[in-house]
Amino acid sequence: MKKIYLVVMLFFAGVFAVHAQKAEVFTKDGVAINGYDAVAYFTKSQPVKGDSKFLLKWNNATWYFASQEDLDLFKANPAKYAPQYGGYCAYGLSENHKAPTKPDAWTIINGKLYLNYNLDVKADWQKNTAERIKKADIYWPAIKDKE
């Protein structure tokens, strides 16, 4: 079992390295968090695809929103709605590396949005979020601008 776990972790390490970015915000083609509306995670309790009609340039990325109302909420208080660690995988950050995220792998803890690489990684993340958040908070300042 340990051997399988090690192989899986090495696979993810390779995938994460390929997808690592220097930017502080996780983007694909310059669009933050896969084009999903960060506010909707809070107001609709689910991922909602944003619309390029409602966009905002913030923190060197383009953010899409599902409505003008969500754009206005984000614009008034981006720190409240923006995902932690620039939208990179919270689990990955707790392991001291950046990784991309999937819109459906998310949690809100203490009023903060955390995204994960996929649903399997989210399940591991949820086993000990308090400890993982502590670790990620320590690693993030040194890693946020690195590849």
Residue 145: what pLDDT? 84
Condensed to tens digits (0 to 9), the pLDDT of residues 7-60 reads: 344 344 444 443 445 689 999 999 999 999 999 999 999 999 999 999 999 999
* pTM of this structure: 0.84
- With CA atoms as reference, report the closest residue to 35 among 87, 75, 108: 87
Mean pLDDT, to the nearest integer, of 130-134? 98
- Whole-angstrom Cα Rg for the chain: 15
How confident is the model at residue 1, as a pLDDT? 52
Q: Structural domain of residue 99, as residue ranges? A: 2-143
pLDDT tens digits, one per residue of 94-111: 999 999 999 999 999 999
In angstroms, the CA 59 to CA 41 distance is: 19
The pLDDT of residue 125 is above 50? yes
Number of domains in the chain: 1
Ramachandran category for residue 7: left, alpha or beta (phi over 0 → left; psi -120 to 50 → alpha): alpha
